Amino acid sequence: MQAILYQMTLNTSSNELKKLSFEDTHIAFASKNNFELQKAYWIFAIMNQNWFVKLGTFFIKLFLFLHFPIKKLIKTTIFQQFCGGESIADCENTIRGLNKVSIGTILDYSVEGEENEKSFQKTKNEILKTIEKAHQEHSIPFAVFKVTGIFSSELMEQFQIGPLDEDDESLFAMSKAYLLEICQKAFDLQVKLFIDAEESWIQNSIDLLAYEMMEKFNKNSVIIYNTFQMYRVDMLGNLTNAIKSAKDQHYFLGVKLVRGAYLEKERQRSHEENYSEPLHKNKHDTDRDFNAAVDLCLHNLETVYFCVGTHNEESCVLLCDKMNALGISTNHPQIHFAQLLGMSDNISYNLAHFGYNVAKYVPYGPIESVMPYLFRRAEENSSIAGQTSREFALIKKEVNRRKLI
């Protein structure tokens, strides 16, 4: 892969021309000692083999089901690579380590909900704790949650289709009260809050709730952010309409731009239920709309605060380039970059080194409850063309630079 190199002038006293390069592994892996780097090397070497990922996932699920004592092995390998710990307190070392290199933390409670009232209440209480933690720590710029952590997926789907019956209305009102409590807490403590995107058959419901919360809490500053998955054919239009609505209703629009996380699931459902896929047919069209969305946000900063959640180097370079061309400072408070913990350190660490606002999503939760997240992470990486190979190649480059093999 051709090196991605971007030249820019930093606001330094000497006005020295410096280079931001996502090939700079010295910066990317400076926080890892030799042992940690070698462990990452072997994790990505394994994940680079698609057949091994599928086989390993099968056996881990089986061993966990049979209560084999493998949690320690999981915790010291894949869990440690992609998660901060089993609790907020466990994440302290990760938070401090990232903060040392000017990278923020986004604590992501990644437990898959059981979709009952007890589970919803537990998730709600945990999200409130992440908001309180973000209020206490300057190095935690955002909190985040999924609506289906506090709402039934089936209920959200029914709400999107049409009117709810009396029983469903009661359940919906209970979950909405949780949502209001979460958003009110974020507002009271002035903590910015991401609402994650989900599947298309419930996303309209999520959007309606998100914009209602924005209209209530984003009048004077941005608190609530909605997520826009740009692999959807209608999403650029949705973003355009959202900006117009925010201007008309006089509130700030919080935007998190991502490409999308449910591609296989979306395609399978559209095939099974015989409707047209709501997704772009190819990556080129998704990239085009993602980059157009970045441009749209940049030219509406009087209304929009945005974060690009991407591991795509070209899109990061594009945003840096446009910011420089428009005379926007690298640390502009309305613009952030975000990547997942354990991935694309070449992007995160180099952007932070050059003064951009960067944060890492730091998933946490009990090992057995976070395993579905880790399985998806492994499967997504092995299915994205070149992603794991790219990660592995960069780690291998740094291992060779340090002469460890």
CATH number of the domain where residue 146 is located: 3.20.20.220
Half-sphere exposure of 382 (CA within 13 A, CB side): 21
Instruction: Please report whether residue 379 resides in a domain.
Output: no
- Which position has the token pair 């940049």? 298
Backbone torsions φ then ψ of 256, nearest 5 degrees: -115, 120
Instruction: Please report whether residue 393 resides in a domain.
Output: no
Instruction: Please report whether residue 295 resides in a domain.
Output: yes
Q: Are 4 and 311 in contact (CB under 8 A)?
A: no
Number of domains within the chain: 1
Cα 210 from chain centroid (whole Å):
17
Q: In which element (H, E) is residue 70 found?
A: none
The answer to pTM > 0.75 is yes
Instruction: Please report whether residue 34 resides in a domain.
Output: no
Instruction: Please report whether residue 388 resides in a domain.
Output: no
Residue ranges of E strands in 79-201: 104-109, 142-145, 192-195
Per-residue confidence in pLDDT tens, the chain, 405 aa = 444 544 444 443 333 346 889 999 999 999 999 999 999 888 888 777 766 666 666 667 666 666 777 778 888 888 888 999 999 999 999 999 999 999 999 999 988 757 888 999 999 999 999 999 999 999 999 999 999 999 999 999 999 998 999 999 999 999 999 999 999 999 999 999 999 999 999 999 999 999 999 999 999 999 999 999 999 999 999 999 999 999 999 999 999 999 998 888 899 999 999 999 999 999 999 999 999 999 999 999 999 999 999 999 999 999 999 999 999 999 999 999 999 999 999 999 999 999 999 999 999 999 888 887 777 666 655 545 455 688 888 999 999 999 887
Tell me if residue 116 falls in helix, strand or coil.
coil
Inter-CA distances, 356 with 62, 163, 209, 213, 253, Å: 43, 45, 31, 28, 21
Instruction: Please report whether residue 111 resides in a domain.
Output: yes
Return d(Cα 320, Cα 16) in angstroms, integer: 17
Instruction: Please report whether residue 101 resides in a domain.
Output: yes
Backbone torsions φ then ψ of 228, nearest 5 degrees: -115, 115
Domain membership of residue 144 as a residue range: 84-370
Instruction: Please report whether residue 380 resides in a domain.
Output: no
Q: Are 76 and 113 in contact (CB under 8 A)?
A: no
In the chain, the amino acid numbered 80 is Q
What are the residues facing 8 on neighbouring strands?
A: 18
